[in-house]
Amino acid sequence: MVENNPQQAQQLKITALSLNNFRNYKSLKLQTLGDLSIFVGENAIGKTSIIEAIQLMTELQSFRATHASELINWGAEEASVVVDISDGERQLEEQLIVQNNKRQYLFQGKSKRIQDLKGLLPAVVFTPDNLDLVKGSYSKRRDALDNLGVQLSKNFYTVRADYQKLIKQKNQALKDEADQAFIESLNEVLVKVGVQYIMLRFALLESFYPYLKQYYQGITDGKEDVSLQYELSWSEKYISEFSQVNKDELIQNFTEALEEHIEKERESKRCKIGPQADHIDFFIKPVAVQDFRNASIYASQGQQRSVVLAFKMAELKTIQEIIHQKPVLLLDDVMSELDEARRSMFMELIQGDIQTFITTTNLAYFNDSIIKQADIYTLPFEGAQE
């Protein structure tokens, strides 16, 4: 799926973090960051802002902000985040400047495009919102898969961005009631890029899916199995054998589906067919029975959380397998949402030399072994300007 980069194969870690006019922090500096950092404090005190800042420097996106301007401290015109990164030998600096509702990244002092930094230091982020992954909208599951893909492959990032631009252009053309010849010319390009996009998703799922099954079975002590099924927007058949999909057939079927739905799209003034409308579903079953059941309908809350936990574990493993870089693990106040058994399973991952940043309101969620190896930061910070 991706070409391995020798630079990416190094074990990079964040050693320092500096915030200036970022969210509720006018100024904050954290030096000598280690493998495990736990930020403790009441809600709405700034813990999540630290996780968000690190996500912006690793995954290069925010799970909270819709607009860049939201990141800037009230009354300020510009915000910045700076991280020092090291593999034990090299010292590197990455900087984010937020100004005029735009983000600009610099690496070693030189301006960089987001796609050029993708995969440098990947991350897996787990927030309470992720617990809606199973029962939430299809867009949540598509986004979760795509957010992993863009960290692993510049091509994935580029193809997705190109497809999103095409969808925006076609939706505008439908609103403008453009003539049929123009819509058909857009559809021709849409099929070409859309099939690339779908095939990249399937290639990613080939690597990811076995780990999802492995971890779910481990979490349930081998008593249950999970299946991930993909349904194309023009089909009612689920796909689980992703390597068996024929690209030429996909092109033909996508083309025919767009032709069949043209009147419906003109009526709704919106593109209804394509990877932006595909479905991803989880199915679960006890190992002793044959039939899988849709987890969005039948899964208990515990089973849903086991699926999400397995999904996050599979993300970690897939990143390590493909780009040979251990990702940063960001856990924002999820320990309170997991029972003791699931918390313990996630904590086992920390023992694998994965740099981890955790926010919590209660240190009692962690055992003595974790507490001993962690750097504990109690908020509000002494000396931080807020």
Query: What are residue 179's phi and psi, to 5 degrees?
Result: -70, 165
**Tally of CA atoms within 13 A in the half-sphere of 214 that contains its CB:** 12
Residue 174: predicted pLDDT: 96
pLDDT of residue 3: 41
Q: Which domains can be identified in the chain, with CATH numbers?
A: 13-122+325-378 (3.40.50.300), 138-298 (1.20.1050.90)
User: Rounded mean pLDDT of 324-339?
Assistant: 92
Q: Which residue has the tokens 């290069």?
A: 60
Taking residues 310-317, report their average pLDDT.
Answer: 95
Q: Give the residue from 337, 315, 349, 325 showing the smallest Cα distance to 124.
A: 315
The pLDDT mean for the chain works out to 92
Give the pLDDT band of residue 383 (cuts 50, 70, 90).
low
2: pLDDT strictly greater than 50: no
Angle between the N-to-C axes of helices 138-152 and 154-175, in degrees from 0 to 180, rounded to the nearest 10: 140
> What pLDDT does 352 receive?
67
The distance in angstroms from the start CA to the end CA of the chain is 44
* pLDDT recorded at residue 11: 81
Strands 102-107 and 110-112: antiparallel
How far is it, in rounded angstroms, from Cα 80 to Cα 364? Answer: 34
Q: Which of 36-50, 66-80, 228-242, 334-348 has the lowest mean pLDDT?
A: 334-348
CB 77 within 8 A of CB 51: no
Looking at residue 386, what is its pLDDT?
Answer: 59
pLDDT tens-digit profile of 348-378? Answer: 777 668 999 999 999 999 988 889 999 999 9
Average pLDDT, integer, range 141-158: 95
For the residues 274-281, what does the mean pLDDT come to?
97
Structure tokens at 5: 């980069």
**Residue 4's pLDDT band (boundaries 50, 70, 90)?**
very low
What's the pTM value of the predicted model, to 2 decimals? 0.91
* Ramachandran bin of 119, using left for φ above 0, alpha for ψ from -120 to 50, beta for the remaining angles: left
pLDDT in tens, 56-93: 999 999 999 889 999 999 999 999 999 999 988 889 99
d(CA 61, CA 151): 11
Is 373 within 8 Å of 358 (Cβ atoms)? no
Q: What is the DSSP string of 87-112?
A: SSS-EEEEEEEEETTEEEEEETTEEE
Name the pLDDT band for 44 (thresholds 50, 70, 90): confident
Q: What is the pLDDT of residue 347?
A: 81
**pLDDT tens digits along 91-149:** 999 999 999 999 999 999 999 999 899 889 999 999 999 999 999 999 999 999 999 99
Helices marked H in 220-334 — which ranges?
A: 247-260, 262-268, 295-298, 301-323
On the question of pLDDT at 319 being above 80, the answer is: yes
Mean pLDDT over 21-26 rounds to 95
- Residue 278: partners with Cβ closer than 8 Å, 6 or more residues away: 138, 142, 198, 230, 231, 232, 233
Judge contact between 310 and 126, C-beta under 8 A.
no
Q: What is the pLDDT of residue 10?
A: 54
3-state secondary structure of 282: strand
